Every structure is written in C-alpha cells, then in structure tokens.
C-alpha cells in the first residue's frame, strides 16, 4: 500500500543512535464491530520456559512456543556482562562504568530478543489467520514482574523478557488482520482446574481464601517422586496430570468468556504442537531442498583434481 512519511526520530540507544520512521499508510484495515460476538477464540498464557501457551475453543491442537532461545540469549548476555564488570572493577577499583564492550553486548542481546519476539508473533498471527480465529485473549497481571517469586535465576529470566513488546506486536498484527484482541486479568488462572471448571476469582476481590480442585507441581509423576514437585505440571481432581501452562491458558479464555466452551470443544491437553523456533520448519524445508539437489564440486576442488590427474599422467606410478 501507498505510504507517506509523517515523522522521523533519532534517539540514543546504548551507545548508538536509532533512526525511526513513522508512516501513514493508505490501506483498508478491517474494522472490528463494537457488538462483536466471538466464536473462534484462542487465549495466550505468557511465561519463561514456555514463552506462549495457546489454547482454543475450535477443536484445534494447542500450541506451545518454547522460550529456550530467549533464555539462552539472556544467560549468555548475563555471563558476558558479569565478566566485563568483574574485569573493569578489579582493574580500576572503582564503580563500573559502561564502555563500548558493554553497549555492544547489550545491543546484540536486544536485537536477538527483538528478532525472536517478532518471529513468534508473526508465526502466531499467521496461525490465527489460517484457522479463522476471530478473537485473541492475552493474559495479563499488572504487577507480574514486580512481584515475581520464581527464584533468583528464573526471576532474572522473567524480568529480562520484554513481554509487553511481544503483546504489542501481537496486538498490532491482529488489528491489521481484523482480529479482535483483548487483555484479560489472569489472577488464579494457574491455580484453578480447567477440567473441573473451578470458579476463578479476581485477586483482591475474593471473599475468604479461595480453594481449588487441583494442585500445581505434583510430587508423583510416572512412578517418580520429587520433594519440590514437578514444574510445569498440574494434577486435576480426578488425578489426571496435564500441562500447567495450557491449563492456565484455557482458564484465561474461560475467565474472559465464561460461555466459550458451552457449545464449543474444550482443549485436548494431549494434542499439542511444540514450536521451539518459528524458523524451525523453514530451516527443515531448506535442508530438504539442499539434500535433494545433487551436490556439485566447487571450482577450487575441480582445479585441484585436475592438477592431481596431470601429475599422475606426468609421473605414473612404477
């Protein structure tokens, strides 16, 4: 579509300057009616190990976008910064002052995280379009980073992930495609049991201490015992063990639209598509194409072979 430049901004960014452009686009953006009645709905629960856990009321497999790439980038960045701080403070004996190496590592980390987030968002919205999803519900907790209590290592990973940026990218792409996108307060969604349809109160408005049918982090799983419980799992009232993030995602959907599963199928927690990286499928397809084409020797290798053949003819073996 045609676009007109409206604004250009230059802002400092970790030792460098970022040039940003704002355009006004002449495009027909689908309008979302105010009296929309959502039918094909999906919900997202954001996290660290599982960046996005997605359930739906369409009978489709659930999605889990793994957060391993972002965690790996953050861990490498933290080690690099720790080494830089230690080296400089031991050498100077003074407080650490950010230098060129610090800015370079920070910019590299920010670019890698931003690239991964954008690719995950685009992959997710493409899935929504392909499956005719008309409404996306995103779980939100106003104080989730300030009150994160996941332990020192997990807290660091959680706070360093720009969930707001990911949510904004998803919202922006949904608007372009005419998909209704809304936020849903997600308190107690990870504690309540979706299969048992537990009542889900709002934090701060509950009367008394709420109780739920299931339990997070079961201590027994497949004949094994773990004192602190198995992370990422949830035990229902009947004793079934399901993915805790998918359970939370389904509860977010149910909290936003209580009747979403009245006439629609509930998520099958055993039918899950794992997405470790949005480019994973493209890389596999490219690898197949490369292996399908017969490998040809390089010009340098052909030249070396000619020299060897000429040498053999000139000095044949005795």
Give the DSSP letter string of 31-60. Answer: PPPTT----SEEEEEE-SSEEEEEEESSSP
- pLDDT above 70 covers a percentage of the chain that reads 93
Is 297 inside any structural domain?
no
CA-based nearest residue to 47, from 69, 66, 62, 63: 66
Number of domains in the chain: 1
CB atoms within 10 A of CB 17: 8
CB 125 within 8 A of CB 179: yes
- Residue 298 covered by a domain: no
Q: Residue 226's domain spans which residues?
A: 3-288
In degrees rounded to 5, what are phi and psi of residue 168?
-65, -40
pLDDT at residue 279 tops 80: yes
Residues 157-165: what's their mean pLDDT? 77
Report, in angstroms and rounded to the nearest whole number, the Rg of the chain calculated over CA atoms.
26
Which carries the bigger pLDDT value, residue 147 or residue 253? Answer: 253
Asked if residue 60 belongs to a domain, the reply is: yes
29 is a domain residue? yes
Are β-strands 41-46 and 135-140 bridged in parallel, bridged antiparallel, or unpaired?
A: parallel
- Residue 218 pLDDT greater than 80, yes or no: yes
Contact 136, 179 (CB under 8 A): yes
pLDDT for 146 equals: 46
Asked if residue 312 belongs to a domain, the reply is no
pLDDT, tens digit, 9 for 90 and up, residues 22-53 = 988 877 777 766 777 889 999 999 999 999 99
The alpha carbon of residue 27 and the mean position of all alpha carbons in its chain are separated, in whole angstroms, by: 29
Residue 305 placed within a domain: no
Residue 123 CA neighbour count, 13 Å, CB half: 22
The answer to the question of residue 315 being in a domain is no
Amino acid 309: pLDDT: 87
Q: What mean pLDDT do residues 103-127 have?
A: 95
If one compares 298 and 73, the residue with the highest pLDDT of the two is 73
Asked whether the predicted pLDDT for residue 282 surpasses 90, the reply is no
What's the token pair of residue 7?
């604004």
Locate tokens 């099958």: which residue? 268
What's residue 208's pLDDT? Answer: 80
The pLDDT of residue 147? 47
Q: Does 318 fall in a domain?
A: no
């Amino acid at each position: 579509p045609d676009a007109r430049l409206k604004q250009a901004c230059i802002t400092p960014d970790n030792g460098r300057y970022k040039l940003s452009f704002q355009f006004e686009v002449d495009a027909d953006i689908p309008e979302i009616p105010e009296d929309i009645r959502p039918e094909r709905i999906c919900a997202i629960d954001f996290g660290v190990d599982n960046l996005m856990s997605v359930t739906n009321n369409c009978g489709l497999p659930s999605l889990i976008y793994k957060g391993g790439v972002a965690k790996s980038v953050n861990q490498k960045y933290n080690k690099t910064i720790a080494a830089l701080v230690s080296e400089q403070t031991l050498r100077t004996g003074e407080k650490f002052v950010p230098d060129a190496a610090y800015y370079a590592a920070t910019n590299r980390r920010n670019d890698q995280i931003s690239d991964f987030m954008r690719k995950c968002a685009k992959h997710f919205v493409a899935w929504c379009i392909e499956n005719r999803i008309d409404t996306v519900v995103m779980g939100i907790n106003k104080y989730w980073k300030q009150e994160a209590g996941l332990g020192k290592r997990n807290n660091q990973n959680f706070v360093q992930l720009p969930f707001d940026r990911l949510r904004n990218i998803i919202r922006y792409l949904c608007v372009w495609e005419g998909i209704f996108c809304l936020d849903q307060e997600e308190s107690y969604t990870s504690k309540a049991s979706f299969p048992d349809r537990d009542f889900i109160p709002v934090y701060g408005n509950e009367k008394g201490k709420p109780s739920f049918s299931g339990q997070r982090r079961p201590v027994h799983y497949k004949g094994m015992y773990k004192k602190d419980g198995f992370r990422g799992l949830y035990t229902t009232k009947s004793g079934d063990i399901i993915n805790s993030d998918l359970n939370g995602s389904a509860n977010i959907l149910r909290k936003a639209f209580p009747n979403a599963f009245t006439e629609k199928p509930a998520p099958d927690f055993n039918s899950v598509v794992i997405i470790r990286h949005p480019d994973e499928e493209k890389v596999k397809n490219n690898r197949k194409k490369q292996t399908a084409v017969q490998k040809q020797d390089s010009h340098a290798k052909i030249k070396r072979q000619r020299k060897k053949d000429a040498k053999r003819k000139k000095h044949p073996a005795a």
